[in-house]
Structure 1
Amino acid sequence: MLAISYSVMQSSPMVLIRFIFLSLLLTFPASAQDILTGQVTSVAEPDTSSAAVDDLIRILEDDAARAVLIERLQQAAPDPVANEAEAAAPDLSIARQLAEYTRGVAEGASATVRSVGTAIGNLQQVFSGSMSADSGALREFAINIGLLVVALFGGFFVLRLIANGLGRGIAARAAGGGLIRRLMGLVGLILVDAGSVVLAWGLGYGLALNFGTTPNGQMGINQSLLLNAFLIVEAVKLLVRLVLVPRFPALRLLPVTDGNAAYWSFWLGRIISLLGYTFLFVSPMLNSLVSRAAGSAIQVLAMATAVTIGIIIVLQNKDDVRAWLQEISVRRDNDGLGRALAAVGRQWHVLVIVYLVALLVVWFANPETALPFMIGATVQSAFAILIGSLVIGFITRFVSAGLSLPDDVRQRLPLLETRLKSFVPAVMRVVRWIIIAAVVLAIGQAWALFNFAAWIGSDEGLAVAGSVVSAALIILAAIVLHVVVASWVEYRLNVNFGRVPTSREKTLLNLFKNAFTIALVVFGTMLALAQIGVNIAPLLAGAGVVGLAIGFGAQKLVQDIITGIFIQFENIMNEGDVVAVGSWSGVVEKLTIRSVTIRDLSGTVHLIPFSSVDQVSNMMRGFSYHVAEIGVAYDSDIDAVKAAMHEAFELLMQTEHKDEILDELDMQGITAFGDSAITVRARIKTLPGKQWGAGRKYSELVKTVFAQHGIEIPYPHVTYVPAGGSAKGRLPAEPADNGPDGDVD
């Protein structure tokens, strides 16, 4: 403005006079309004303006005085070039920012100290101001407010006694009942308590309107303040009582002991009454009757008392809360969240005390804006923590309770429940951490640490959120698809439902499930990475290079896979077949594209890669034969031997193996002449894999029939000849150890 004034003064003296006159009008807005409108609203203000105008006119008429004024204005005028340079290039150095921050902290601390001193001075003004107050106002307060207080709280005390009696009856009827009955009893208790508050409030209003010192039908503002404060405070205390229900444990829904319910109800009620009646009644009343300083002093005293009570409560419950958090940590097996809770439990009282003291100091410094902000942020943080705790508790109970499927589904899909129990806890853990992150974001948003809501509403935030949600949906869809396909394969392999699967179907379905799982993991991962902005083209190129390197460096693996593919195409063996692969024979337990897993007769499991397989012998294709080669003595009647073997076969057809035999006994006769026996061979055709059981039973029957017909089965003998003497006796030689017979049942 000074620069503009200087440029105006260079033009003409009359313009200068008009400019200075307008400046005076702006400086004294009340006087300017009077002069411009021609109205006089005060006596002192027009005189002051007229004197200032007369002095200005005298200065302008005197050449020397006018020159001095112009010189002073020139000296006071700022340099516009310097201002523009300073505005164009602000100092953003770290030192400047640190200086600005420390200056703000110092000014805030100074304001806090001054506010505390002012509050202490206001306490003195309570007494001095009240002594000098109007005696009529004090008499009106003593009569109207005093009678209203006695009637209001006396009537409320009587109504509370009646409400407690009704509440005991409601609790007695609801005791031992179910949840619905307890909820109905709690609703009844709400109506009774709320009715006592409303009746006492109405009684107070009726007394204030008809029995005060004011005319009938009118009431003082202080009476209205008291009644409104009573209604609000008692309504809040009613909510606390309904949550904790200290007097009627039968209606309490929270898992809180009677001692804790009474303790917290008592202290919360006292703090609510202290702050509520102070800020809603006592402080406004003192503002009108005594002074604003008196009202502010009472507010300071109430806040300091409330914070002191809060610190005492924290110190009293320090050990209990620490033990409670430690118990939660132990119950969670000291996982990440459990260890965090245990660490908070060791120092939680210090954090809460620092917060309460900071709340009091901030309120001293700036009660208009800082205190509402801290209270609002605290309430929002507590609400976010409460909602997050409830959701996490529900998830924890759901996971700990387990997942139980109906019996018919469990019979059709016996592995589905196990599969879901392995997937659901992992998914729930991810959801739990997502909820914890959401609670942290809500707390940061409440305390204005960052503006997450604005960021998520921006184009960048929407893009990031959309990418993350899309990637999560892709992973979730892949998990669901895997469960569906695995369950379908499991259902197809279940022999209790539908058509009994063949060995070929078992092999191909298991191979399909494994290949589908691998493909699903690869493509699901690639799509999820693409959604969050990862360029998967280098990954695909790298996968090709890695595949080429594997092709050169892992030739055995490639040979395994190629041989396995041809074995599957040729369908030479399937799961459940008895095969001889290389030097091992046994039952095929698992068949992949690279190897075969075999369990032999002794129960040993062998993993055989296909690159080491030269041939595969399958003993369970179409049908099988039990080959019976029996040695008889040279002097035996061969026809009698054959007849005995037929007789043993007829006995076999009368046993449990008859349904396994496909044809009559194939008698092939003499096949070899040994040193001491003639070998007679016969074959029994059976279902695939049933030849070993039927063969063992047939051998038992042949031994029995031969013994009945006197047919000798020769075996080697050993003659013992002592040194220098003749043979003293003959001992039978042990049968030759011909190795395992290879029978597999």
Structure 2
Amino acid sequence: MSALADALTVLAAWAIGSVSSLSAFVIDQAGQAEMNRALFLNAFLVIEFIKVLARTLLAPRWPALRIWTLSDTTAAYWYFWLSRFVSVVGYTMFFLAPIVAINVSEDAAQVVRVVVMFAALVLALIIILQNRDQVRRLLLRRSETRRTDILGRFLASLARLWHVVAIGYLVLVFVLWLAAPAMALPFVLAATVQSIVAVAIGVLLTGVIARVAGAGINLPAEVSERLPLLERRLNAFVPNVLRVVRILVAAVVLLVIAQFWRAADVVGWLSSEVGQRFAVSIVSAILIMLVGGLIYLAVQSWVEYRLNPNYGHVPSPRERTLLALFRNAFVVALGVLIVMLVLSEFGVNIGPLLAGAGVVGLAVGFGAQKLVQDVITGAFIQFENAMNEGDVVTAGGVTGTVERLTIRSVSLRTLDGAYHLIPFSSVDAVTNFMKNFSYHVASIGVDYEASIPEVKQAMHDAFDKLKEAGFAGDIIGDLEMHGVTEFADSAILVRARIKTKPGKHFALGRAYNEIIKEVFDERGIEIPFPHVTFYMGGEDKAGKSPPPRIKRQHPGPKPTTGKPKRGAATSAASAKSPKRQRKTRVTQDGPPDEGQDAPDQTEVS
């Protein structure tokens, strides 16, 4: 409304001046004076409308109406110099120079134009150099807010070179005006205005696209519950599509600017057969990639829906494994297909590419036999359902949980958290601890003096306590008591087995061992550690062992001189020998024989 009121004021002033000029023409019939007034009114109308545009954009007196975020000082500064520049150049070109040409000569008018235009050029260059740093900072701030956008990168590049571009443009306009003022200047001004309009439209479209991409996509709650990852995929897919659209908009703007400046005959080229075929190829390639992206989203969403345990049936480990492999294989096949179709749209013959790919694949097959072995072994392992994601297996000498399966390798996470990537070529056998069901084997050693029936009953009672502790849902069947399986060196091994659901035997076995320890402690059943019971000469039928042969040594002075005794030499030699003699200290049962002293040291070798 402010700009409209300002424009109407200028138009009213021009109309009043025109009416006054017509009245004066009727009164004095002076043709020359009328010509001067008409020139002045035309110059006034053009110049003042340019000032109206400047006041609309800068609003030096009304900060609330200012479109740009400029300070009052900056707005007043730019309006001051812009209005002075437009006034001097405009009145010179549209009023002063025509009067000099009529009254003096055209050469004199041209001199006036050149002097004024050169002065305006120098003034413009000074203003550009004075504001070089300020405009650069402004452009850099604008680019920081749009760092990932193509416009932001363009502003960051323009910030370093804007003054060079502006100076070069003004010098070019001045030189073209000097060379051919009647033809070059209107062309340059028209191309400049058209380029500014094209850039403005491109910036507007880019801003709208950026706003749409920034808003994101919010799916309904029911859809998000069914497909938890779909919203995130769409919010990652749509910005990429919009980024491509922004690149296309920028390319179209550049082509339009090139057409305006006659740097390239874009319209003529697009009218030709080659141009039309290229344009159709571009559009077809974009549509192929768009459809491929939609197919990718659809397949990913379908796999995600099948793997969602909240809807339908809970997927089995085999389903999870096969769907993951299908998803990976489908992505690779879809990518290859899209690339081939895009190349074919641009006229590339994909037949030789397919043949060359076959030859290269054959060469790679011969050169990478290990890779081929990985793939073939992995395919048979998947076909035989030897392992699935989440299973605890032993493969390649490593025991861990299967985290990821591909056609070439298996990824295991061991108990200590280490991540192992094992190629199938190094897997000779697969041990799966979670196939259909599991067993916890309790092989418990007890003392030789323990009662085996009591031990079995204690193990049954511990099994009952285990079910009461919350493991009843993981147990399949009753306790399988195998009985005594081995007479070990220090213990008798009593074995039992508990059948559990797949993978539940680990936690259940740890809990059962704790309960066994508590029950055995309560009932006095000893779980022995490795030891040796020594009997002197064995036992007789009455269960008594004969007394050991005891060598008593009385303390006495050690010989310090003379020839050492035979026993001493032997002891010294034994001390120097690296081999140790195993000696066992024993304590004699009962008192010593009558008439004998108590031994100072008793040794049995």
1:190 aligns with 2:49: no
Residues 681/398 of structure 1: CA separation in 2 closer, same or farther (3 Å cut): same
SS in 2 for 1:657: helix
Q: Is the 8 A contact 1:719 1:727 kept in 2?
A: no
Question: In 2, Cα distance between the equivalents of 1:675 and 1:425?
Answer: 73
Q: Which of 48, 54, 70 is equivalent to 1:234? A: 48
Aligned counterparts, 1:430-445, within 5 A: 430-445=244-259
Residues 728/604 of structure 1: CA separation in 2 closer, same or farther (3 Å cut): farther
1:455 CA displacement: 0.6
Letter matched to residue 266 of structure 1:
F
Question: In 2, Cα distance between the equivalents of 1:346 and 1:615?
Answer: 65
Residues 563/193 of structure 1: CA separation in 2 closer, same or farther (3 Å cut): same
Question: In 1, Cα distance between the equivalents of 2:284 and 2:167?
Answer: 44
Aligned counterparts, 1:36-435, within 5 A: 188-210=1-23, 214=27, 220-284=34-98, 296-324=110-138, 345=159, 348-391=162-205, 401=214, 403=216, 405-406=218-219, 408=221, 411-416=225-230, 419=233, 430-435=244-249
Question: In 1, Cα distance between the equivalents of 2:154 and 2:13?
Answer: 48
1:577 aligns with 2:391: yes
1:546 aligns with 2:405: no
1:646 CA displacement: 2.0
1:701 CA displacement: 1.1
SS in 2 for 1:654: helix
Q: Is the 8 A contact 2:217 2:234 kept in 1?
A: no
Give 1:465's aligned residue. Answer: 279
Question: In 1, Cα distance between the equivalents of 2:495 and 2:229?
Answer: 48
1:492 aligns with 2:306: yes
Residues 392/337 of structure 1: CA separation in 2 closer, same or farther (3 Å cut): closer
Q: Which of 600, 619, 623 is equivalent to 2:437? A: 623
Question: In 1, Cα distance between the equivalents of 2:211 and 2:128?
Answer: 30
Q: Which of 344, 350, 361 is equivalent to 1:530? A: 344
Residues 716/362 of structure 1: CA separation in 2 closer, same or farther (3 Å cut): closer
SS in 1 for 2:485: strand
1:611 aligns with 2:470: no
| Structure 2 unaligned spans of 5+ | 535-579, 589-605
Residues 454/316 of structure 1: CA separation in 2 closer, same or farther (3 Å cut): same
SS in 2 for 1:247: coil
Question: In 1, Cα distance between the equivalents of 2:408 and 2:160?
Answer: 56
Question: In 1, Cα distance between the equivalents of 2:280 and 2:328?
Answer: 32
1:558 aligns with 2:372: yes
How many aligned positions are there?
540
TM-score, normalised by the number of residues in structure 2: 0.78
Give 2:585's aligned residue. Answer: 726
Q: Alpha-carbon deviations, 1:336-388, whole Å to 9, x = none?
A: 99898777655543443343233223223322111111212222333344444
Residues 506/339 of structure 1: CA separation in 2 closer, same or farther (3 Å cut): closer
SS in 1 for 2:509: helix
1:461 CA displacement: 0.8
1:330 CA displacement: 7.6
Question: Which has the higher mean CA deviation after the structures are superposed, 372-381 or 315-324?
Answer: 315-324
Q: Which of 454, 461, 465 is equivalent to 2:268? A: 454
Q: Alpha-carbon deviations, 1:440-494, whole Å to 9, x = none?
A: 3333322222212211111111112222332233233323322332233223223
1:414 CA displacement: 4.3
Question: In 1, Cα distance between the equivalents of 2:586 and 2:84?
Answer: 118
TM-score, normalised by the number of residues in structure 1: 0.65
Q: Is the 8 A contact 2:475 2:498 kept in 1?
A: yes
Q: Is the 8 A contact 1:621 1:688 kept in 2?
A: yes
* RMSD of Structure 2 on Structure 1 (CA): 3.6
Q: Alpha-carbon deviations, 1:609-641, whole Å to 9, x = none?
A: 222323222221222222222222233232222
Q: Alpha-carbon deviations, 1:216-251, whole Å to 9, x = none?
A: 9x9945444444443333222212211222222222
Question: In 2, Cα distance between the equivalents of 1:222 and 1:610?
Answer: 96
Residues 358/699 of structure 1: CA separation in 2 closer, same or farther (3 Å cut): closer
Residues 491/262 of structure 1: CA separation in 2 closer, same or farther (3 Å cut): farther
Question: In 2, Cα distance between the equivalents of 1:710 and 1:612?
Answer: 50
1:724 CA displacement: 7.4
SS in 1 for 2:27: coil
1:402 CA displacement: 8.1
1:679 aligns with 2:485: no
1:510 aligns with 2:337: no
Q: Is the 8 A contact 1:403 1:417 kept in 2?
A: no
Question: In 1, Cα distance between the equivalents of 2:203 and 2:88?
Answer: 30
Q: Is the 8 A contact 1:631 1:678 kept in 2?
A: yes
Residues 346/593 of structure 1: CA separation in 2 closer, same or farther (3 Å cut): closer
1:650 aligns with 2:464: yes
Give 1:586's aligned residue. Answer: 400
Question: In 1, Cα distance between the equivalents of 2:487 and 2:582?
Answer: 34
Aligned counterparts, 1:686-701, within 5 A: 686-701=500-515
Question: In 2, Cα distance between the equivalents of 1:322 and 1:713?
Answer: 84
Question: In 2, Cα distance between the equivalents of 1:602 and 1:235?
Answer: 79
1:210 CA displacement: 5.0
Question: In 1, Cα distance between the equivalents of 2:169 and 2:450?
Answer: 109
1:324 CA displacement: 4.3
Q: Is the 8 A contact 1:381 1:443 kept in 2?
A: yes
SS in 2 for 1:358: helix
1:395 CA displacement: 5.9
Residues 197/479 of structure 1: CA separation in 2 closer, same or farther (3 Å cut): same
Q: Alpha-carbon deviations, 1:120-148, whole Å to 9, x = none?
A: xxxxxxxxxxxxxxxxxxxxxxxxxxxxx
1:704 CA displacement: 1.0
Residues 539/633 of structure 1: CA separation in 2 closer, same or farther (3 Å cut): same
Question: In 1, Cα distance between the equivalents of 2:482 and 2:56?
Answer: 97
Q: Is the 8 A contact 1:402 1:421 kept in 2?
A: no
Question: In 2, Cα distance between the equivalents of 1:225 and 1:479?
Answer: 63
Question: In 2, Cα distance between the equivalents of 1:361 and 1:558?
Answer: 70
Question: In 2, Cα distance between the equivalents of 1:403 and 1:616?
Answer: 47
Question: In 2, Cα distance between the equivalents of 1:263 and 1:544?
Answer: 70
1:516 CA displacement: 0.5
SS in 1 for 2:394: strand
1:405 CA displacement: 4.2
SS in 2 for 1:501: coil
Give 1:114's aligned residue. Answer: none
Residues 675/308 of structure 1: CA separation in 2 closer, same or farther (3 Å cut): closer
Residues 725/618 of structure 1: CA separation in 2 closer, same or farther (3 Å cut): closer
1:268 CA displacement: 2.0
1:633 aligns with 2:447: yes
Question: In 1, Cα distance between the equivalents of 2:8 and 2:252?
Answer: 40
Residues 207/596 of structure 1: CA separation in 2 closer, same or farther (3 Å cut): same
Q: Alpha-carbon deviations, 1:509-553, whole Å to 9, x = none?
A: 111111111111211111111111112111111111112223333
1:205 CA displacement: 4.1
Aligned counterparts, 1:22-37, within 5 A: none
Q: Is the 8 A contact 1:587 1:598 kept in 2?
A: yes
Letter matched to residue 510 of structure 1:
A
SS in 1 for 2:529: coil
Letter matched to residue 282 of structure 2:
V
| Greater share of residues in helix | 1
Q: Alpha-carbon deviations, 1:269-291, whole Å to 9, x = none?
A: 22333333344444455556666
Residues 413/265 of structure 1: CA separation in 2 closer, same or farther (3 Å cut): farther
